Amino acid sequence: MQKIIYPSTDEIIEYNAFAITLFDVKKSDNTDLLSISKLKKAIQKCKNIKGNIYDKAATLLKTIVKAHAFASGNRRTAFVATKAFLLNNKARFRVKNDPNIARVMQGIREDYYKLDEIKEWIKNGKIRKFERK
């Protein structure tokens, strides 16, 4: 079994700066780190979760989104960090470049999706449409 490569807090902080630069959404976006302990907990949760690389990736994505460790770009950072995590571990990331990604990420933040649904999205690019109740 191949050893899993997990992101460090420094890498996730870099992903935040990258995501904010790459996906400029608001002029007020900034890279201020609000909580390094929340990032450490997100990484640890990813390490501790039982299952395959996609279970770990879904956990990483959801945990970073929900941790809100940065002043801006938490969902964008989680997306970039998860993609990098999978690629660093020679796994596929099947989410297509689509404007609906932002809606899915909002659904993840609002607990609309279960971890199995997030895993399916990452692994196969399929997820039900996000709709507020």
Please give the tally of structural domains in the chain: 1
Give exposure, 106-122, as e/b (b: 16+ Cβ within 10 Å): ebbbeebbebebbbbbb
Q: Which domain holds residue 71?
A: 9-23+34-124
Long-range CB contact pairs, 110-119, < 8 A, 24+: 115/55, 115/58, 115/59, 115/62, 116/58, 118/58, 118/61, 118/62, 119/54, 119/55, 119/57, 119/58
**Which residues are 70's β-sheet partners?**
33
Q: What is the CATH number of the domain that holds 50?
A: 1.20.120.1870
Q: What is the pLDDT of residues 43-61, one digit of tens each?
A: 999 999 999 999 999 999 9
In a domain, 52, yes or no: yes
Ordered DSSP codes for 31-88? --BS-HHHHHHHHHHHHH--S-HHHHHHHHHHHHHHH--BSS-HHHHHHHHHHHHHHH
Share of the chain above pLDDT 90, in %: 82
In a domain, 3, yes or no: no
Tens digit of pLDDT per residue, the chain (133 long)? Answer: 579 999 999 999 999 999 888 876 776 788 889 999 999 999 999 999 999 999 999 999 999 999 999 999 999 999 999 999 999 999 999 998 887 899 999 999 999 999 999 999 999 999 999 988 6
